[in-house]
């Protein structure tokens, strides 16, 4: 017969975590419902996608700068995500790891300078 009493603290922890997360999700909704004004209009209920209305003529032109900024954000966010594990394991990887990361950072700096020169970071 298996003794399941060892799992009781884990189940209590999971129960408390679920209760707290439900409270932190639903309490602000309830407070805003009780204290806020509810005046839903068509503008408030409309959907937005990248700063322009979602349903238009599919042949209409849109500004590609939204996507360019998002791609640049992802690139530099991934750079930061790669830097932490590299810094932690630098002692194990040695000079080969350091050289590889410097080449990676150099390529990112070249890309950043290129995007800057092309005006990708300018917002009108």
Task: Calculate the CA 74 to chain-centre distance.
Answer: 9
The tally of domains found in the chain comes to: 2
Q: Is residue 44 within 8 Å of residue 96, measured between CB atoms?
A: no
Residue 44 lies in a domain: no
| DSSP 8-class letter at 1 | -
Q: What is the pLDDT of residues 60-95, one digit of tens each?
A: 676 677 777 788 888 888 888 888 888 899 899 899
Is 17 a domain residue?
Answer: yes
Alpha-carbon distance of 85 to 100, in angstroms, equals: 13
53 SS3 class:
strand
Q: Is residue 83 part of a domain?
A: yes
Residue 46 lies in a domain: no
Shared-domain flag, residues 20 and 77? no
Calculate what percentage of the chain has a pLDDT beyond 90.
Answer: 24
Say if 50 falls within a structural domain: no
**Residue 39 above 90 pLDDT?**
no
CA distances to 42, 43, 54, 57 from 66, rounded to whole Å, are 24, 21, 14, 19
Distance CA 104, CA 89 (A): 16
Q: Note down the domain range covering 31.
A: 1-36
Asked whether residue 53 is assigned to any structural domain, the reply reads: no
Residues 68 and 116 grouped into a single domain? yes
Contact, 90 vs 98, CB < 8 A? yes
85 and 121 in one domain? yes
pLDDT tens-digit series, residues 85-124? 888 998 998 999 999 989 988 988 898 888 888 877 777 6
């Amino acid at each position: 017969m298996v003794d399941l009493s060892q799992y009781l603290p884990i189940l209590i922890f999971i129960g408390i975590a679920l209760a707290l997360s439900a409270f932190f999700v639903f309490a602000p909704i309830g407070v805003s419902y009780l204290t806020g004004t509810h005046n839903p209009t068509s503008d408030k209920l409309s959907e937005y996608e990248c700063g322009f209305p979602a349903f238009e003529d599919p042949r209409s032109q849109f500004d590609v700068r939204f996507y360019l900024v998002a791609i640049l954000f992802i690139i530099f966010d991934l750079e930061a995500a790669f830097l932490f594990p590299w810094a932690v394991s630098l002692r194990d990887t040695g000079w080969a790891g350091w050289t590889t990361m410097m080449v990676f950072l150099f390529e990112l700096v070249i890309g950043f300078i290129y995007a800057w020169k092309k005006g990708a970071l300018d917002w009108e």
